[in-house]
């Protein structure tokens, strides 16, 4: 499966820019493709050969406006996702060969390394993978769902940084 990252109208910031950023983007696409190919991610019988994700980077004012408009929450946040194929909290894509998944919007100014959480690069990957999981219907509205999502996104970050593309299992 091929995963296409569309960077929206803005150029990607560090760590996604430049030669090293291109290599990082390749690893992101590999991790996402492995997750999409994992049993249970796409409905059985799907003939999807390509998935597309649009990623935009915005300033804090733009993110605050999006957050207020779509979540009725004041102020900026680090990442918002706008899935195309979610029905009642479930990922329900059509059987298309080329499948647009939705949009992930990141405010780099709001992405700060957490205490003991590693570098800015790691946090940028974390919010990007977090946004991607929301496109696939993942949520963190219960303690168990939160734990499952946090574990998977941490695994995705580690595998992206380490270039580990072993088989994936969807839980």
pLDDT tens-place string over residues 54-96 = 999 999 999 999 999 999 999 999 999 999 998 888 888 988 8
Q: Give the pLDDT band (50/70/90) at residue 152.
A: very high
- Domain coordinates of the chain in residue numbers? 2-162
pLDDT for residue 170? 42
How far is it, in rounded angstroms, from Cα 140 to Cα 81? 13
* Average pLDDT of the residues in 34-52: 80
How far is it, in rounded angstroms, from Cα 153 to Cα 130? 6
Instruction: Tell me if 130 is assigned to a ligand binding site.
Output: yes
Domain 2-162, what fold? Collagenase (Catalytic Domain) (3.40.390)
pLDDT for residue 104? 97
Instruction: Tell me if 134 is assigned to a ligand binding site.
Output: yes
**Edge to edge, what strands does the sheet with 98-106 contain?**
2-6, 50-57, 98-106, 79-83
Q: Is the pLDDT of residue 165 over 60?
A: yes
Instruction: Tell me if 129 is assigned to a ligand binding site.
Output: no
């Amino acid at each position: 499966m091929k995963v296409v990252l569309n960077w929206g109208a803005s150029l990607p910031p560090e760590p996604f820019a430049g030669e090293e950023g291109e290599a990082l983007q390749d690893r992101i696409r590999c991790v996402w493709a492995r997750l999409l190919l994992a049993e249970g991610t796409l409905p059985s019988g799907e003939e999807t050969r390509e998935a597309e994700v649009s990623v935009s980077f915005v300033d804090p004012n733009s993110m605050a406006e999006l957050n207020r408009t779509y979540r009725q929450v004041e102020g900026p946040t680090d990442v918002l996702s706008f899935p195309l194929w979610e029905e009642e909290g479930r990922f329900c894509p059509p059987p298309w060969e080329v499948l647009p998944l939705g949009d992930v919007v990141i405010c780099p100014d709001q992405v700060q390394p957490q205490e003991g959480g590693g570098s800015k690069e790691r946090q940028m990957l974390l919010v990007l993978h977090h946004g991607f999981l929301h496109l696939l219907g993942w949520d963190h509205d219960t303690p168990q769902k939160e734990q499952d999502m946090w574990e998977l996104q941490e695994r995705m970050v580690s595998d992206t940084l380490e270039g580990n593309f072993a088989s994936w299992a969807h839980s």
